[in-house]
Every structure is written in C-alpha cells, then in structure tokens.
Structure 1
C-alpha cells in the first residue's frame, strides 16, 4: 500500500488543513452509551455502523479537542466496517459535548480510561478480538498503553495503530509554540477551545484552577503548566511531557503495532519519530513517509480524495484481529 500523495495539495500545511476542515467522508450511524467510571466520572462511547454480531471490536481514540464525530474517526470507522470490524469510538472526558463531572480532564498520557474500555469489552464478550487505533494525542495514548503494559493485557487485545503520534510531547509543544503564521493558526485553534473548557471548569471548581492564569496561557507550555499539570498531578509541564511521551514506551510493545508518521508533519517533528526503538522491536511496524502532514495523508483527486493512513491502519488492524 504505497502512498501516492495528492499533488493538488502542495505542502504539509495545505494537506493538514484540507484534511481537518474540508473533507466530507462517511457518517456511519452512531449509538451512544454512557459508561460510568470507577472514580465517579463517565465516558460517552459511540458504537458506529451495523457490523455483524461476531465482528472483532476496533476501539478508536480521537486527537486533541476532537471527538467521535471527527472526520478522521468516521473515516477510519467506515473503512473498518468494510474490513469486517466493529468500530467503537471513545470520547475522552469532556469531549462528547457534555462536560465531565470531575475537576480533571483528559490528557496525552491517560491510559486508565482506555484500559477500562478494553477490559469492559473483553468481559462482555470473552474471546472477541479487540484492536485499538488512535490519532495524534489518541495515538500517543495507544502507544503508551501497549508499551507500558507489555504482556499484561487482556488476551483479546490483538494489536493497535497510531497515526501522527506526538512521540515526544515536549518537542511537539515547542513546535506549536514556535514563531510563525501556521504555528499561530494551529496553536490558537487548539488553545481557544482548551481555555474555554478550562474556564468553565474553574467556575465549577474554583479551588482547582486560576482563571487569570488560564486567560494568560497563550502557549502550550503555559497551558500545560497551569491546567494539565495542576489538574492531573504533575509537578510541571515538563514533568507531564517527560512522563507521558509515548516514544519511550515503544520498546515495551508486545502486540502488533502499526505507526504511521509523516516527516513533514508540522506538529510532530520528523526527527522525533522513534526509528531506532521501532526497528529494534519486531512487534512494531513503522511507516514513515516524506510527506503527509498531520492526520492527513491525502491521496486521490480533489473530487474523490482518499486518506491513505486510515486505509493502511484499517487493513493492518483487520489482519491483526484475525491472527
């Protein structure tokens, strides 16, 4: 499945923006369930399409400030249904359209919620294969989850895939915080939403967050210091980035894992991709393309675009589920 980039989208920014705001894609029917968590919070989980009852489960994790309705989530779900998988899209805490109950949010290293989803699915249908796919932040969660647990996973978990994974969170934050027009566009698109959510959280839990500090957070370094670290028990933004970057967990992966990265990714620096660690682990398949942007990898014509990384992941995960 060699990647033939769309020539009508020259450059990483054009490809990234098109995939983010201009793609249409499938809209499989969704059935939502609210799953209670052990700490009193909840996850909203969407069961997509109408797969056969015995189809292997595909758990899909979205990226930063995405949701189960993100075009790339629905794109992978549509391909997964055609490949015989049952897609289940998880909304991270506070991302389903309903604020979560607790002061905390979600973050790049939170694998406990994913583990809860996986173990609930395994308990409901023992022996049914489960595979996991994640995009960007969600991909970081997938890689960290598989790597930190190694063989300590339910037998039902057969493999995973991560697309445009920020393997080094500090490097990704610095890339987004760097000067430049496009960095400002990406940074403000994310931070505008994150600040709004954090301010709403501060109103509900005034002892947890400082509204003035939130309003002053104009970089990811500042936001992760005054919100992410404070809410989730990290000493600082740097502590959060160090402990939650998934690149260090690649060596511990013991189930088949596909990693798809673009060297020209404007958010994930190409030289932060853990080529050596992936090459040393026979469970890991790393596909690094010269171009592709961030969660984009657009191919085909402008009238009929396709998204190569999602197709590559769907094929890999369907194969892993049936091994």
Structure 2
C-alpha cells in the first residue's frame, strides 16, 4: 500500500514503534524523577549551583544586644547545606524520626510535684557526667540523689520538648549531650504523662499550657539561685516557651532562651497541615502519636473527654475537638488555637530570644512567622534558613550533626558571657496575658482638681459605685412618693427623714471615693469633709451645689405643704 494514502496517525504509530523500549523507560524515569523532585521539594541542584550567601536573620538594627551577639555568632550567619542524599525537608524530617542516631547515656531523674498535684519528670544531664564519662547503661534514668549543690554556678538549660516527645527522643538526646559537653547542666522538663510518668491530676498539657514551665523555672531559680537559668523550646515546646516569656515579661527568671521550629499561630498551622497530601500525612502521623499518648491514660480521658471520638480521630483537629476542648474547657477548637498561639505574645518578650524556623518546614508553615513583631522587639533574633525541615537540619556526608544544635550551643555560649543576659525584676502587680481585655475591667469615679469627673480603673471601689447607684435610685423613688402624697404630713415627715439620711450617705460615699485610697462608706462624714476641704475646695462647693440642686424640689414641696396647713387653721377663725 502506498504510504501517502495512510492516515497520519498510523504513520506516527509506526514511527513510534520503531523506538526501542528502553528509551521509553528512560523517558518515564526522567519524568518520574522530575515530578518527585518537585513534589518532595528536593533542593540538591539548588544547593550545588545556586549557593546563598548565608542564613537570613531578622532583628532590630537599633538593638545593642542584637548587634553585639550576632557579631560573635559565626555559625548562625553561616549557610546551612543539607546532607546531599537527604536534601529535602521531607527526607530530613523522616530521617530524624526513623534513622536519627543519638549518644547513649543515663539521665538523672527528679519527680517534681506541681501545686495541683500533677507530676513532671525532670531528667538531668550534668556537665560532670559527660566530662567524667559517667554515661551509658542503656540510657536508663538514674535517681537524682542531690547531684547539684545549691551553690552551683554552672548555668542550667531547661528544655521543653515538642508534641508527644520526651527526653528519650533522638534530637533531644543529641541536644542535651552537646550542651552538657560544652559546660551546661541540662534538664529536660517532660510534659505531663510523658517520660514514663503517670498523670496524677485531672490536668493535661496542651500547646499553650505555660503553668508547668513557670513552676519548673521558678523552682530551679529558687533552688539554684547562683546558676543562670536558660531555656530551649522545640516545636510545640517553643510555642509554650515564647507564650510564657510574653506572659511574664520582666518577671521571668529565664536569662536567655531559644525557640526552634515554633508553629507561632496554631490556627494558620491547622489550615496549612490539611492543605496538601504530604501535609495530611504529617497530620495523620501526629494524630496517631497523640492517640498513643491518650491510650496511656485511657481511664482519665474516658472520664474527662470523649474517648470514642479520640479513638476515631483522623486528624489533629478531630483530636483537639474530642480531647483538648473537653479537658481544658475550650468552647471550640478555633478558640483553643487562638488563645494558645504564641505569636500574640512576641511583643511582650523581655528576654534575649533566638528563634530558628526553616522556611521549608513541612509541619510549621512560614506563613505563621510574625516577621514584623520579631523585627520590632529589640530582644529577638529570628534566623530563617531556606532549608532544614522540622527539627532536622542534618549536615555533612553522614548526617551526623545538626546545624541548629550547633547554632543554639554557640548562641547560648556567647550570651551567657555577655552583659545582655536577662535579670529577673520583681513585679508589683499581677501577671497579665497579652490577650487580656479591658472590657472586663470595672471603672470607678475620679474627681480631678478642676472638678471634672472621669473614669479610673480601681477594682477596690466597685462596691462603692454600686452602692451609689442604688442610693440614687432609692432617692428618686422616695422623691416621687413624697410628691404624690404631699397631703399626708406623716408620710412627708418620714420621707424627709429617710431622704436626708440617704443623701448624707451618698455624699459621704462620693467624698470617700475622691479622697481615700480604699473606700469605706461607713466612716464618719466629718472626717471625709475635712480631707476633701484640705485637698480641693472647688470639689466641696461642687458637692454642696449638687446637694442643694437635688434636694430643692423636696424642700419646695415641704414648704408649700406646711404653708397650706397653717392657712387652713387661720381661715375658720376669721
């Protein structure tokens, strides 16, 4: 058959059939590799051909602390280059969970009891243990046995683990070992119910629970007052740490802190982790971890939460809906996420704080990083490497070291020898969170020197104001009653007596609010009049004018009634 009469498609098929099969296999392999390279966010060629200058750092350029500390932190400025064969945030994160290696050593355990009856496992690794080679024994925890004297001056680092992590996690053991080897006493503050310790109260930890960290920090500071106290938070632990620092402000005993892979805004993180297929895999993995945690404490969760819902939860949001919201009394999951996010507390941080967040973190999105707030706070340094995954940052040919651990060790070492470490300041007022609203504050009256009446915030005068309002309402009722029954002398006399008594009480309370720190409406009227007259004569005349103006209708009514009664007596005689 003449080839010119054949269909073009038949000609194309005949031509393609002449291509060897292995060529198609190679083409399929190239397409698959390209797809996976983009899908898994591999950055091998980017690292090789497009070398960056270093780690981007955000800070307040006018801050003496930032300028002085950053000039000595070479590792922090250096460029992070991931291990070649795991140059992907997903490979890095998976390697941390399944293949990460850690030194074998023994913690010294101390069980700390909280005020509500809860138990926290404090696992210690001392500098003396590492330098003396006293580690090994399959990583089992040893009793504390007062290993540190109260006069110890070696700085202490308290570590707050991530979600469902404990002191036995590989990355925490690497962190503790490296810090202890460089002259630190490290204590890992395990979350309630983790580290092999049972929950001994009805209180569980969550992403914004700062009470345990506050109690541990105060305990360590009081017991070892000569040892500077620093803190490191990882993942959810970083969110708890930053929120705690923002809540306590200048009142915290923490001298310096580091937050690594902080989720910052839990509501944004919740939307992000459900967005793509890979993120949903992480979501499911974290949910399984929390379900395992709940399984360890099933009797408590059965009593306090929705156990059937916990078992069938398919994502973190489901777990928080059936567990966290029930146990911690949050109205909704979004309410829990909003109240426990640390981004709202960044502006109140008064402690030197280093924040490290990888821009390709597959769990904590870069969208939640509070860039402007970190830049505005002179106490915060924000390092954002382009790559690193979640708590991974493995580098070197064998992935034997982690860049963020080296950077944290360097930063804390420079900070502890500088004059910029934070010193706790006693606060005269109670602690207030960054989310407290002034709507719930009850105003009271304040009379200025020019006689202007304004609102001021004093909780102690709330009862006096309520009494004033009640007396004014009662006074108006009495006045109306006397006007309507003006023909009955007995009622007028009683009303006059009651009204004058109440007017005196009202005036007394007004003077009390103006001239006394703590109101006492039962104090003698004369004492307050003397105090007011000494402080402000204008206010005295103002109160007198108010008294005359408010009592004038009653005085007029009484006078008219008396005049009419006497007129009736005179008329018959005439």
- Secondary structure of the equivalent of 1:243? helix
Selected match of 1:95 from 151, 172, 194: 194
Deviations 1:120-151 (A, max 9, x none): 11111113200000110111111111112110
How many residue pairs get matched?
A: 319
Determine the structure 1 residue equivalent to 2:453. none
Q: Which whole-Å CA distance do the structure 2 matches of 1:40 and 1:314 have between them? A: 34
Determine the structure 1 residue equivalent to 2:408. 313
Map 1:83-122 → 2, pairs under 5 A:
83-122=182-221
Structure 2: gaps of 5 or more residues: 1-74, 130-151, 419-574
Deviations 1:213-259 (A, max 9, x none): 11232111111111112111221111111011111111111110000
Determine the structure 2 residue equivalent to 1:233. 329
Map 1:125-144 → 2, pairs under 5 A:
125-144=224-243
1:174 aligns with 2:271: yes
Selected match of 1:32 from 96, 104, 109: 109
Contact kept in structure 1, 2:161 and 2:233, CA below 8 Å: yes
1:23 aligns with 2:100: yes
Map 1:148-159 → 2, pairs under 5 A:
148-154=247-253, 157-159=254-256
Contact kept in structure 1, 2:120 and 2:197, CA below 8 Å: no
Determine the structure 1 residue equivalent to 2:464. none
Q: Which whole-Å CA distance do the structure 2 matches of 1:171 and 1:26 have between them? A: 36
Contact kept in structure 2, 1:263 and 1:271, CA below 8 Å: no
Determine the structure 1 residue equivalent to 2:351. 255
Determine the structure 1 residue equivalent to 2:156. 57
Selected match of 2:260 from 163, 176, 181: 163
1:270 aligns with 2:366: yes
Q: Which whole-Å CA distance do the structure 2 matches of 1:299 and 1:200 have between them? A: 36
Is 252-261 or 222-231 further displaced after alignment?
Answer: 222-231
Output the TM-score relative to the length of structure 2.
Answer: 0.54
Q: Which whole-Å CA distance do the structure 1 matches of 2:405 and 2:87 have between them? A: 20
Q: Which whole-Å CA distance do the structure 2 matches of 1:16 and 1:193 have between them? A: 15
- Per-residue deviation at 1:202? 4.5
Is 133-142 or 183-192 further displaced after alignment?
Answer: 183-192
- Secondary structure of the equivalent of 1:122? helix
Structure 1: gaps of 5 or more residues: none
Selected match of 1:209 from 305, 313, 331: 305
Cα 1:199–1:18, aligned 2, differ >3 Å: closer, same or farther?
A: closer
Contact kept in structure 2, 1:177 and 1:220, CA below 8 Å: no
- Secondary structure of the equivalent of 1:294? coil
Contact kept in structure 1, 2:155 and 2:228, CA below 8 Å: yes
Selected match of 1:221 from 317, 327, 334: 317
Q: Which whole-Å CA distance do the structure 1 matches of 2:255 and 2:181 have between them? A: 19
Is 8-17 or 159-168 further displaced after alignment?
Answer: 8-17
Q: Which whole-Å CA distance do the structure 1 matches of 2:272 and 2:128 have between them? A: 40
Determine the structure 2 residue equivalent to 1:80. 179
- Per-residue deviation at 1:40? 0.6
Determine the structure 1 residue equivalent to 2:417. 322
- Per-residue deviation at 1:205? 5.4
Cα 1:204–1:255, aligned 2, differ >3 Å: closer, same or farther?
A: closer
Contact kept in structure 1, 2:355 and 2:382, CA below 8 Å: yes
Contact kept in structure 1, 2:167 and 2:188, CA below 8 Å: yes
- Per-residue deviation at 1:313? 1.1
Selected match of 2:397 from 301, 306, 318: 301
- Per-residue deviation at 1:20? 2.1
Contact kept in structure 1, 2:207 and 2:236, CA below 8 Å: yes
Is 92-101 or 193-202 further displaced after alignment?
Answer: 193-202
Selected match of 1:7 from 72, 84, 90: 84
Q: Which whole-Å CA distance do the structure 1 matches of 2:322 and 2:219 have between them? A: 33
Instruction: State the structure with more CA Rg.
Output: 2
Deviations 1:36-87 (A, max 9, x none): 1100111011011443953100001111110011111111112211321111
- Per-residue deviation at 1:179? 4.2
Contact kept in structure 2, 1:199 and 1:214, CA below 8 Å: no
Deviations 1:273-323 (A, max 9, x none): 111111111100000011110011111112x52101111112212332333
Higher helix share: 2
Cα 1:197–1:306, aligned 2, differ >3 Å: closer, same or farther?
A: closer
Determine the structure 2 residue equivalent to 1:66. 165
Q: Which whole-Å CA distance do the structure 1 matches of 2:295 and 2:228 have between them? A: 41
Selected match of 2:282 from 186, 205, 217: 186
Contact kept in structure 2, 1:202 and 1:208, CA below 8 Å: no
